[in-house]
Chain A
Amino acid sequence: MKKQSYFLAALLGLSIQIATAQVKKGSVLIKNATVITATKGTLENSDLLVQDGIIKQIGKNLNAPSGVQTIDATGKFLMPGIIDAHSHVGLDVVNEATAPITSEVRMKDMVNPFEVGIYRALAGGVTVSHAMHGSANVIGGQNATLKHRWGSIDPQDIIMQDAPRTIKFALGENPTRVHGRGAGIQPRSRMGVEAVIRNGFNEALQYKKAWADYNAKASGKGNTTVAPEYDERLQTLVDILDGKIIIHCHSYRADEIYMLINVAKDFNITKLVFQHTNEGFKVAPEIAKYTMGASVFADWWAYKMEVYYSTAFNAAILTANGAITSINSDDAELIRHLYHEAAKTQRYGGMTDDQAIALITINPAKQLGIDDKVGSLEVGKQADMVIFDNHPLSVYAVPLMTFVDGVKYFDIKENADDQRLKISATEMVEPIFLSGEAHRCMQDTEFLFETTESLFNQKH
């Protein structure tokens, strides 16, 4: 009900208070659930109290303070909100594909809180998604970590403001196809990809030094050193070198994964996560030793040459080698049942319940640098959580309610069918673009392969 009134308020133009207010924080007591904490085992018949968006108590026989709603979850399962470490939901633009390095581009500029995919993700229990730049460039744009506060009209309100900065890198076929084959520039090969990264970081070091030199002299009297050119592209690379940004790198093959590990070692970069990582199982010990792990698909491969060789045991092998491992969607449909994706690792790899749950909760939280805030049900953490009717790793599991910061944003029983936030004033049936909804890693790059001018006019 609360959610609905919020929704109505936004619709009725009563947005004045809402738009200027902080994001909503809720209070709720969930009684008698099977609490899957993700970090501290599973607690039978337990209660969990949330106050002002923070988990205050987990235990038995808790009482609701006055004014706090109680939800009876007898026979139900409560787990941490699912975190998707690789998504493109909620973004107006995915690829600024026009240069091999576009680290100056920010996905936070392009967040679209009205995209109904956010609500669909909530209906799949996903409370946090990592809205990434696409994989057309060697070093793509900076990503946005989103909290699925559906109904917000200000993009800032669905950006997880206390999450660290992350950036997209991409190796292999995509960048070599777009830039080498498509535009006739470096990189044309995997060697070129490595060269682009190394050159980028070396230039960034020079850029950092130029500004340091200038800043040291600028205030001096009669200073003759002039300010260098401003370059946010290089400044962002400097920030990576300074450890302020976590790299999330699109990768498939073992050789390129190992290449980037070596580059990272050479430049003293430790904040590095591999995405897709379909041959990660071949270099699992190296990934475990030098990086923040790998985010993989449960069983999706063979959709192009470089990802011909993979296995559904990938996550299990990576985990067994001590690599932080997560299962992601990279897809507006898969994001709706990541709990099934995690469960596949029990069939292929025999992972335990705790291990499988960690793949979609605390592990992706670690890879996004937000594991101190979300990713498990622990006192003091932000109350992002889902209630399931069955154990979430069961094929019969259906999410019933999803909470972000203790506020219920999804309720399978109470919510109205039509959850669209934006309605066209002139179209009775709004167009739906099937291609745009699904795999968007390479969205906005079509023009690079077009041969005739006439095709240009087809795109919006």
Chain B
Amino acid sequence: MKRTLLKAGVIGLLVSGWVSSNLVLGQSDPSGKKRITDTYAITNATVFTAPGKAGTKATVLIQDGIILGVGTNLSLPKEARVIAGDSLFIYPGFIDGASDAGITKPKDLERPEGFVSSNPADEIAGITPWRSAKDQFSSSGDKVDDLRKTGFTLIQSVPDGGMIAGKTSILVLGSPTSTNLLKDNASLAANFRGSRGMYPGTPAGVMAKFRDVYENAELTQQRGQQYASVAGVKRPEITPTYSAMSEVINGQTPVLFTTPTELEIRRAINLQKELGFNLVLTGLEEYEAIIDVIKASNAKVLIKLETPSDKSIKAQKEEVTEATKAQYERVKDAYSKAIAQAGKLEKAGIPFAFTTVGTKPADLMKSLKVMMENGLSEQGAMAALTTNPANILGISRFAGTIEKGKMANLVLTTDSLFKEGSQIKHVVVDGFVYDYELTSKKKAEANGEKKDSLKVEGNWDYKTESPQGSSGGVLAIAKEGDTYSGTITYDDPSGSGKTSAPIRDVAVEGNKLTFFFDVTASGMTIAVEISGEISGTSMDGTMSIAQIGSFPFEATLSPTLISNN
């Protein structure tokens, strides 16, 4: 809570930069959060109003979270705070078709006395269509900040849960004091995850149970109508599940099915054909071979904004047998296909958007660039970030483009968006301006201080944040010739105190450092991957543990020990 307040305070200060804190506290708003003005003019910037439109020099005037005008001859009101946009490029705010940012999974319910695993209550079995993402969402989540920093202004927030997790909410990533809710019950989140140790326990059971829930929701509605019109009819049993399904069976609310793979996509489409709901496929990772099937189904599509790692491709060795070479080729081929999928989807004329569920915000733009290097057009990429999700979510009246009357959701960059080195300087969400520090990489390079000056060796004090709390230690890196080696200390997982491990596979590329180390705990060895960007004496990155997750990793180079090298 403290942290949230602090952040809010910082944002407030950024927004009203020149106001001294004393003055703010002197006003009737003791929190200091109230804005001085909600009118902004970003003058003389290069504005890209919609995908495919060329950038034109213009001023964008916004007030009360609405775009008042875009043009060259706007008369600016006195209260407008002017942001000189001469060197800036403005794009419509990005829209995340399905997001897990800021979502906390509700606690699993206690199993009641005499619990029968073959016939559990809906709520325990993960069938909770009445739940809403807005109740699980908190704008203070780290991923929310990170997502906004990447240019995302609007999200469809997806609840976490079982096979029918609940309804999604469309939220704007704006003021921390607002509910930011644009549309509730936007779609019904479903997936093929079974419940642990109870019915339905597998995707096979989930498909059967989904049919059961759907058919009985229809019958319940039918009984209700009969009850309302005919006397002497038995009172229909109305359950939260069937009530919450009624909008779905009436076609008002689509089902957002998480279907990463080809076979799962087909399974969702089969259910859709049998039962007749409106279908949005989300989280697609592998779909290259069945784009025609997806197209024929008329389902809407949200692909995962992530491309597979190229590590194993790069790790292929030179001198291998013919048989191994043939296997290498197949992996390469699979990789090339995977990164070219988005482009194929575009060419097939499917107006897809993205989902960031399960992704790291810091990697989103990198993944998008890989897709663009492999067939996705710039216009297609922009559409997938803006107009397509607006259409899919049914919010294009007020979102997706820069137009008079639309929501003031903007991304302001230092160069044309997809150009190497372009950085996001401001993100405007619902009329609130978020400022971001530019990294000085470009400057440093311009001054002739290239990669060579990058200081990797030395003793780094690091800190990580994980659900277990924060921890830290010392990372010591030595350089011999062109190779790096070293050790890392960390909290001993099998007891108290610290232990250490050698680091391996240290790679430095540009200002990016990656390495691994192995943690042994209760007989198991877990590989931990650290990757981060070094600027000066600080490193910012992530610590990833397979099947567990990624956590923030920060380190600073301890100055006293460098001279010892």
Contacts of A16 in B (CB 8 A): 292
Among listed A81-89, A254-262, A315-323, A424-432, interface-contacting one: A424-432
Residue from B208, B266, B270, B309 whose CB has the most chain A CB atoms within 10 Å = B208
Contacts of B270 in A (CB 8 A): 109
Q: How far is the CB of B87 from chain A (nearest CB, A)?
A: 40
For the complex, what is the distance from the CA of A16 to the CA of B349, rounded to whole Å? 14
A-facing mask of B318-337, CB < 8 A → 1, else 0? 00000100111011011101
Q: Assuming A92-B263, A105-B204, is B334 touching A425 (CB within 8 A)?
A: yes
Q: Assuming A15-B289, A19-B292, A185-B118, is B203 touching A153 (CB within 8 A)?
A: no
Contacts of B535 in A (CB 8 A): none
Question: Does B53 have its Cβ within 8 Å of any Cβ on chain A?
Answer: no
| Contact present for A93 and B204 (CB under 8 Å) | yes
For the complex, what is the distance from the CA of A31 to the CA of B155, rounded to whole Å? 66
Contacts of A13 in B (CB 8 A): 288-289, 291, 337, 344
| Contact present for B202 and A93 (CB under 8 Å) | yes
Question: Does B211 have its Cβ within 8 Å of any Cβ on chain A?
Answer: yes
| Contact present for B205 and A98 (CB under 8 Å) | yes
- Chain B residue nearest to A448 in the complex (CB): B197
Q: How far is the CB of B322 from chain A (nearest CB, A)?
A: 11
Within 8 A of B (CB), among A65-105: 92-93, 95-100, 102, 104-105
Contacts of A141 in B (CB 8 A): 204
Within 8 A of A (CB), among B305-355: 308-309, 311-312, 315-316, 323, 326-328, 330-331, 333-335, 337-338, 344
Contacts of A423 in B (CB 8 A): 330-331, 333-334
| Contact present for A425 and B337 (CB under 8 Å) | yes
Among listed B229-237, B379-387, B500-508, interface-contacting one: B229-237
| Contact present for B311 and A426 (CB under 8 Å) | yes
For the complex, what is the distance from the CA of A300 to the CA of B212, rounded to whole Å? 40
Question: Does A400 have its Cβ within 8 Å of any Cβ on chain B?
Answer: no
Question: Does A420 have its Cβ within 8 Å of any Cβ on chain B?
Answer: yes
- Chain A residue nearest to B203 in the complex (CB): A93
For the complex, what is the distance from the CA of A138 to the CA of B292, rounded to whole Å? 41
Among listed B219-227, B511-519, B555-563, interface-contacting one: B219-227
Among listed A118-126, A220-228, A361-369, A371-379, interface-contacting one: A220-228
Residue from B119, B216, B331 whose CB has the most chain A CB atoms within 10 Å = B331
Contacts of B315 in A (CB 8 A): 428
Within 8 A of A (CB), among B275-294: 288-293
Q: Assuming A183-B118, A425-B335, is B211 touching A95 (CB within 8 A)?
A: no
Q: Which of B116, B200, B288, B309 contacts A96 (CB 8 A)?
A: B200
Question: Does B207 have its Cβ within 8 Å of any Cβ on chain A?
Answer: yes
Q: Which of B116, B197, B207, B338 contacts A447 (CB 8 A)?
A: B197
Q: Which of A97, A226, A227, A447 contacts B196 (CB 8 A)?
A: A447
For the complex, what is the distance from the CA of A223 to the CA of B216, rounded to whole Å? 20
Question: Does A20 have its Cβ within 8 Å of any Cβ on chain B?
Answer: yes
Q: Assuming A92-B203, A106-B207, A425-B308, is B236 touching A99 (CB within 8 A)?
A: no
Question: Does B89 have its Cβ within 8 Å of any Cβ on chain A?
Answer: no
A-facing mask of B251-264, CB < 8 A → 1, else 0? 00000000000110
- Chain A residue nearest to B548 in the complex (CB): A457
Question: Does A10 have its Cβ within 8 Å of any Cβ on chain B?
Answer: yes
Within 8 A of B (CB), among A406-429: 417-418, 420, 423-428
Contacts of A95 in B (CB 8 A): 202
| Contact present for A96 and B292 (CB under 8 Å) | no
For the complex, what is the distance from the CA of A456 to the CA of B291, rounded to whole Å? 35
Question: Does A107 have its Cβ within 8 Å of any Cβ on chain B?
Answer: yes
| Contact present for B202 and A444 (CB under 8 Å) | yes
Q: Assuming A417-B323, A420-B330, is B204 touching A106 (CB within 8 A)?
A: yes
- Chain A residue nearest to B209 in the complex (CB): A104
Question: Does A110 have its Cβ within 8 Å of any Cβ on chain B?
Answer: yes
B-facing mask of A236-263, CB < 8 A → 1, else 0? 0000000000000000000000000000
Q: How far is the CB of B323 from chain A (nearest CB, A)?
A: 7
For the complex, what is the distance from the CA of A232 to the CA of B316, rounded to whole Å? 51
Q: Assuming A153-B262, A183-B117, A423-B331, is B205 touching A102 (CB within 8 A)?
A: yes
What 8 A-B pairs have minimum CB-CB distances, sorted nearest first? A99-B118, A98-B199, A423-B334, A96-B205, A230-B215, A425-B335, A425-B334, A104-B208
Q: Footprint of A on B, CB under 8 Å?
A: 116-119, 196-205, 207-208, 211-212, 215-216, 219, 222-223, 226-227, 230-234, 236, 262-263, 266-267, 270, 288-293, 296, 308-309, 311-312, 315-316, 323, 326-328, 330-331, 333-335, 337-338, 344
A-B contact list, 29 entries, CB within 8 Å? A13-B291, A15-B292, A16-B292, A19-B293, A20-B296, A92-B203, A92-B204, A96-B200, A96-B208, A98-B201, A99-B118, A104-B212, A107-B204, A110-B204, A141-B204, A153-B289, A153-B290, A154-B266, A224-B234, A226-B234, A227-B219, A227-B223, A230-B212, A232-B212, A417-B323, A420-B330, A423-B331, A423-B334, A428-B331
Q: Footprint of B on A, CB under 8 Å?
A: 10-11, 13, 15-16, 19-20, 92-93, 95-100, 102, 104-107, 109-110, 112, 141, 153-155, 179, 183, 185, 222-224, 226-227, 229-232, 417-418, 420, 423-428, 444, 447-448, 456
